[in-house]
Structure 1
């Protein structure tokens, strides 16, 4: 069981790096992100029907700590981009969430920092850290969400939609990755 979980987590991390290198929103990135998500789901099923990580030797638990942390930070970006691309599929409106990304600059770096902070706070046993991270992000992004100086092709609703979908996807991914370690 330990080997299977570590192998699937490693495969997920490799897929995350590959998806990160692929063009954003393309079918190849979406498929790669989907398989990465499937690896994490398979990990969860194995741990759920086994004894979780209880009884694991410390070095194997530490290995999972590093692998799932890398997966949380690296995999969340392509997954979030894929979800936003799926939301935009067939959308011919000029106010798509893709155009809204031009208003919310720095989203990839902010998302990686957000996922790292959430993952770290959960693994450290401080779930309140999620509220702190989300409060900081919300307060920092508030001026951009309400700015009247946005391009005419982007509505404030599209910007807010991108912010909410991206944040929820990113946070849920980090929580799920941390959940692997907390399955005792």
Structure 2
């Protein structure tokens, strides 16, 4: 069971890396992100069906710790852009959350740092860190979210939606990746 869980987590991490290759929001990225998510769900189901990682040897738990951490940081970006792309279907260009990315620049790097910090704080047994990360992000992005100088090609609602949907997707992804290790 340990080998299967580690293999599925490693496959998810490989898919996460590959999901960065196609254009953001493309059909290929959405499919690869979906398969990556399926790997994560399969790992969760296997851990729930078994005894979690409680009986694991320390070295295998450490391998899972590193693989799940890499998956948390790497996989959240393509998954978030896939979700935003699905949200944009049927929206006008001014309502597009993709277009709103021009206002909220640096989202991929900020999201990776956010996921890494959330994963680390949860695995370290300090869930309060999640609140601190979200507070820092919200305060740092507040000026951009409320700026009257936004381009006319983007609605303020699209910028706010991108921030909220992106943050929730990113946070839920990193919390899920950390959750496997908390079954210990």
Q: Distance in 2 between matches of 1:93 and 1:119?
A: 34
Aligned 8 A contact 2:11 2:39 in 1: yes
Please list every run of 5 or more consecutive structure 2 residues that lacks an aligned counterpart in the other structure: none
Residue 183 (structure 1) aligns with: 183
**2:150 pairs with 1:150:** yes
Q: Distance in 2 between matches of 1:73 and 1:92?
A: 31
Aligned 8 A contact 2:94 2:158 in 1: no
Aligned 8 A contact 2:101 2:162 in 1: yes
Structure 1 consecutive aligned stretches of length 4 or more whose deviation exceeds 4 Å: none
Deviations 1:5-61 (CA, angstroms, capped at 9, x unpaired): 000000000000000122101000000000000000000000001000001000000
Q: Secondary structure of 2:173's match? A: helix
Q: Distance in 2 between matches of 1:134 and 1:93?
A: 29
Residue 57 (structure 1) aligns with: 57
Q: Secondary structure of 2:19's match? A: helix
Residue 167 (structure 1) aligns with: 167
**2:89 pairs with 1:101:** no
Q: Distance in 1 between matches of 2:83 and 2:4?
A: 27
Residue 72 (structure 1) aligns with: 72
1:20-99 alignment runs, 5 A limit: 20-99=20-99
Deviations 1:118-173 (CA, angstroms, capped at 9, x unpaired): 00000000000000000000000000000000000111111000000000000000
What TM-score comes out, normalization by structure 1 length?
0.99
Q: Secondary structure of 1:20's match? A: coil
What TM-score comes out, normalization by structure 2 length?
0.99
Deviates most, 93-102 or 6-15: 93-102
